[in-house]
Amino acid sequence: MTNFSFYNLVLLLCLSFVIYYSLNIYLFNDLQATVSKSDFRVAKHHALSSKTEITKGNSFSKNTTSNSLLSVQKAIVVKSKILKPVFRNKNPKYIAIKQKLWPNANIVFPSTDKLIGAVINALTTDSIYSMKNSRRGTQLKLVLELTNSQLVLFKPSWYSRDEIMNGSVYSGKDRHNSEIVSFHLAAVLNLRYTPIVAGRRISLRDSLKYADAELLQTMPVLNNLQCVYGVCHFCKSDEIVCDDKQNGTLEGAVLFTIPGKIIKYRSPWQRTYKEQLKAEWEKNDNYCALISKKLNFDVLLDLIDAAIFDFLIQNGDRHHYETRENRVLLLDNGKGFVSDAQLGRGY
């Protein structure tokens, strides 16, 4: 009995040890699994929290950046309104096409740039969106609005291209082809002070829908042809230009608008336009010495260039001159190329 009890006790102890050991292993594994899941949930929570914080941070950063950019943009817009023309022309808000970046003082276009051809082509072919009268100067000019709100001047043809003018060197109306040739000659001579000019034909009849109310009042129909006489110092209702009978268009010259502030001055060598009355520069031998003390030296040199240029194109009508940033521009070259017989007369 004692032996039996002893063996039973040993067996019971062994069985208890196995059960105890098994329970420990089970509980340990279960606890480890529970902790891992808990850690995962905590880690996931932290990850989501971090992601939310990053997203909020990025959103705040983006909003801050956006507000900063808007502030900078507003500052640029405000500042651009008080800049000098030479700098304002480089603000995209004031640029219709890239060529407005070119002008520097009185240099209107660069000596070498393939884009000049593109500008000339645009002057010739771009669609017209509006047309109005220009009161600038003494003769008929039309203001055309082309693509990108680009404004250009249109000088109509009053004469055929080969017509010979009689009278003084400044006789008659402006010749549109003189503007065109003057631009190319100035480029050859490196006197790049003229506007870019191109020849163009427009239909006055087709352009009626683009004309403003003031211009429409000066656009009569004569002999079934659409005509115009405009409003200007010398404009008269009995002096008109009309669409051609053959092709239904009016030929003329389109002048690219030079950006910046342009100031007009009376020429110190202006004519009196009276045969019996001489100007001061024609009578006073010391006139040049007097003028050299009054004019800026660069302007004086520019006027000498202008005088040589006018001699070459036979322009005897530069009674005023225009400046841009205190340098002379060669504008209004329509009185050139009167005839071979007139070369040198009146100079």
The residues assigned a catalytic role are: 317
| Residue 155 is labelled as binding a ligand | yes
- DSSP notation for 169-196: TT-SSPPHHHHHHHHHHHHHTT---SPP
Does the annotation place 282 within a ligand binding site? Answer: no
**7, 11, 13, 15 alpha-carbon torsion, rounded to 10°:** -170
Provide the token pair at 293. Answer: 């003390």
SS3 at position 65:
helix
Cα 207 off chain centre by: 24
Q: Is 73 annotated as a binding residue?
A: no
- The rounded Cα 258 to chain-centroid distance in angstroms is 9
Strands 250-256 and 197-202: antiparallel
DSSP result, 12-62: HHHHHHHHHHHHHHHHHHHHHHHHHHHHHHHHHHHHHHHHHHHHHHHHHHH
In angstroms, the CA 71 to CA 65 distance is 10
Inter-CA distances, 120 with 11, 199, 215, Å? 114, 9, 26
What is residue 197's three-state secondary structure? strand
Determine phi and psi for 34, rounding to 5 degrees.
Answer: -65, -45
Contact 252, 156 (CB under 8 A): yes
Tokens representing residue 129 in the block: 């969106």
The one-letter code for the residue type at 170 is Y
139 among annotated binding-site residues:
yes
Look up residue 98 and give its DSSP letter: G
CB atoms within 10 A of CB 221: 13
Binding residues: 139, 155, 174, 322, 332
For the annotated binding site for Mn(2+), the residues are: 174, 332
Which residues sit in the known binding site for ATP?
A: 139, 155, 322, 332
